[in-house]
C-alpha cells in the first residue's frame, strides 16, 4: 500500500418518500440495471469538497452522530459538520469544526454511537472526536500510513489498518496490540456480532476471526481498487458492499463470491459508512458524498413493525399483571389467601 491509495473502512427501514431526492443517478455515477432491479436509489448528499489534484482523494472519514453528519476532508485536514441529514447540500454550507493540520491529518472514522474515532494519518495518531467533530482526546500514537478504522460493537475496541498490519486498540487503557501482520490492508468493516473483521488487502476483501485472528474469508480479487466496505442487513444480509477507486459500487455475496456491479461511472471512491438515521449508505467520491438508498431493511437492523411490537408489549404486561396478582394473594405464611 502507498499513501496515494488511501481508503476507509468504516437500520432502519429506508422509505424513499422520506428521502425525497432519492434518484437513479448522481455526480457522474449511475445505477446499473442490476442495481435498479434490486430497488436501490442513488442521490447526492453533498458536493464541493476539495480534493488532491495528484490522486483525486477528497472526502474520506464519515460518521453520523446526534449532532449531524461528520465528513473529513483529506486534502485540507478539516472536519465538516452537516447539522441536517438531507441531500443536496454543499461543503461551503457546512460548519468547519476544526482543522487538524493539513493534508492527510483527517482520514478514516469509526464510531460506536456518539463516540467517534478518527485516524490522523499524517500525525500517526488515533483521536477521539466529540459528536460535533471537535477534538476530544488523543487515544494512541505511533501509527505509520494508517487508513481504515472500525469499532467492534461488542467489545468497544477500535481496529485500525496500518502499513504493517491491523492493530487492536483498547480506547480505555489507550494501548494498541498488533492483531494481524499483513501489508497492503486498508478499508475495514465488522460483522454486527463483532466476530469477523473484514479488511481490504491487495485487491481482496479478507475476513478475520476477531477472537483468533484466523483468516475465515477471502472474496478473491476484485478489480478497480476495492476500498471501503459495509455489510448488508435485512434482505441484503449475506452480502458485502464495496466502494472502488475506479468509480464502481460492487455487491459481493459472502457465500458464492458472486460480484454484482450496482453503480458505475463515478469518480474515485474511497470509504463508506451507514447512515443509521435512515439505513442508507454514504459513499465518498472525489469531491462529493453520495447516498445509496437500499431496499427495505438495507444497511441497518430492521425495526419491528408496530403490529408485532404491540402484541409483545401486551403479552409482557399480561404476564406481569398475573404475577403481581399472585403475589398480592399470598398470605403472610406463604399460602394463598
235-254 pLDDT, tens digit per residue, is: 899 999 999 999 999 999 99
265 and 131 inside one domain: yes
For 101, the enclosing helix (H) or strand (E) is none
- Let me know: does 44 contact 27? Beta carbons within 8 Å: yes
- Let me know: does 320 contact 329? Beta carbons within 8 Å: no
Instruction: Catalogue the long-range contacts made by 120-127 (C-beta closer than 8 Å, 24 or more residues apart).
Output: 121/3, 121/6, 121/145, 121/146, 121/147, 122/77, 126/158, 126/160, 126/169, 126/176, 127/100
What would the grid cell of residue 160 be?
485500525
234 and 326 inside one domain: no
207 and 143 inside one domain: yes
Residue 243 lies inside a defined structural domain of this protein: yes
CATH code assigned at 35: 2.120.10.30
Give CA 49 to chain center in angstroms. 20
334 and 297 inside one domain: no
317 and 283 inside one domain: no
The reported pLDDT for the residue numbered 17 is: 33
What would the grid cell of residue 46 be?
453533498
pLDDT beneath 50, residues of the chain = 1-25, 301-321, 323-324, 328-337
Residues 6+ apart with CB under 8 A from 31: 24, 25, 40, 41, 42, 262, 263
Residue 267 lies inside a defined structural domain of this protein: yes
**b/e per residue, 54-69, with b = 16+ CB within 10 A?**
ebbbbbbbbbbbebbb
- Let me know: does 297 contact 235? Beta carbons within 8 Å: yes
Number of domains in the chain: 2
Residue 19 lies inside a defined structural domain of this protein: no
Residue 333 is part of which domain span?
307-337
Residue 114 lies inside a defined structural domain of this protein: yes
The reported pLDDT for the residue numbered 222 is: 97
Residue 257 lies inside a defined structural domain of this protein: yes
248 and 329 inside one domain: no
Q: Cα dihedral angle (141, 144, 145, 150), rounded to 10 degrees?
A: -50
- Output the DSSP codes for 222-290: -TT-EEEEEE--GGGTTEEEEEETTS-EEEEETTT--EEEEEES-S----EEEETTTTEEEEE-SS-EE
- Let me know: does 254 contact 239? Beta carbons within 8 Å: yes
The reported pLDDT for the residue numbered 168 is: 98
Q: Cα dihedral angle (225, 59, 135, 164), rounded to 10 degrees?
A: 20
| Residue located via cell numbers 487503557 | 173
73 and 210 inside one domain: yes
Instruction: Catalogue the long-range contacts made by 318-326 (C-beta closer than 8 Å, 24 or more residues apart).
Output: none
Residue 78 lies inside a defined structural domain of this protein: yes
289 and 336 inside one domain: no
223 and 276 inside one domain: yes
> Using CA atoms, how far apart are residues 177 and 185, in angstroms rounded to an integer?
16
Helix residue ranges per DSSP H, the chain: 33-37, 306-328
The reported pLDDT for the residue numbered 98 is: 83
First to last CA, the chain: 77
188 and 330 inside one domain: no
Residue 13 lies inside a defined structural domain of this protein: no
Residue 115 lies inside a defined structural domain of this protein: yes
265 and 335 inside one domain: no
263 and 317 inside one domain: no
Amino acid at each position: 500500500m502507498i499513501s496515494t491509495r488511501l481508503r476507509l473502512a468504516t437500520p432502519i427501514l429506508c422509505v424513499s418518500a422520506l428521502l425525497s431526492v432519492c434518484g437513479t443517478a448522481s455526480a457522474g455515477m449511475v445505477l446499473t440495471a442490476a442495481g435498479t432491479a434490486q430497488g436501490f436509489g442513488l442521490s447526492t448528499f453533498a458536493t464541493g469538497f476539495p480534493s488532491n489534484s495528484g490522486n483525486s482523494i477528497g472526502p474520506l472519514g464519515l460518521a453520523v452522530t446526534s449532532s449531524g453528519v461528520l465528513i473529513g476532508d483529506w486534502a485540507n485536514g478539516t472536519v465538516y459538520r452537516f447539522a441536517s441529514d438531507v441531500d443536496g447540500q454543499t461543503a461551503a454550507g457546512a460548519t468547519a469544526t476544526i482543522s487538524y493540520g493539513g493534508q492527510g491529518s483527517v482520514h478514516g472514522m469509526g464510531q460506536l454511537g456518539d463516540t467517534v474515532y478518527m485516524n490522523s494519518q499524517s500525525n500517526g495518531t488515533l483521536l477521539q472526536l466529540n459528536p460535533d467533530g471537535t477534538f476530544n482526546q488523543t487515544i494512541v500514537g505511533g501509527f505509520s500510513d494508517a487508513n481504515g478504522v472500525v469499532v467492534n460493537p461488542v467489545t468497544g475496541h477500535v481496529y485500525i489498518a496500518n502499513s504493517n498490519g491491523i492493530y487492536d486498540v483498547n480506547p480505555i487503557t489507550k494501548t494498541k496490540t498488533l492483531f494481524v501482520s499483513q501489508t497492503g490492508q486498508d478499508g475495514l468493516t465488522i460483522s454486527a456480532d463483532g466476530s469477523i473483521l473484514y479488511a481490504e488487502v491487495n485487491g481482496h476483501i479478507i475476513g478475520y476471526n476477531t477472537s483468533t485472528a484466523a483468516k475465515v474469508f477471502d472474496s478473491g480479487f476484485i478489480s478497480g481498487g476495492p476500498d471501503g466496505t459495509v455489510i448488508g442487513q435485512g434482505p441484503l444480509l449475506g452480502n458485502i458492499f464495496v466502494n472502488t477507486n475506479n468509480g464502481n459500487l460492487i455487491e459481493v455475496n459472502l457465500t458464492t463470491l458472486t460480484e454484482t456491479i450496482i453503480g458505475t461511472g463515478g469518480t474515485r471512491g474511497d470509504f463508506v459508512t451507514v447512515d443509521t438515521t435512515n439505513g442508507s449508505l454514504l459513499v465518498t467520491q472525489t469531491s462529493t458524498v453520495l447516498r445509496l438508498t437500499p431496499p427495505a431493511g438495507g444497511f441497518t437492523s430492521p425495526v419491528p413493525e408496530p403490529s408485532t411490537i404491540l402484541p409483545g408489549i401486551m403479552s409482557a404486561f399480561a404476564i406481569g399483571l398475573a404475577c403481581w396478582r399472585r403475589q398480592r394473594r399470598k398470605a403472610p405464611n406463604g399460602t394463598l389467601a
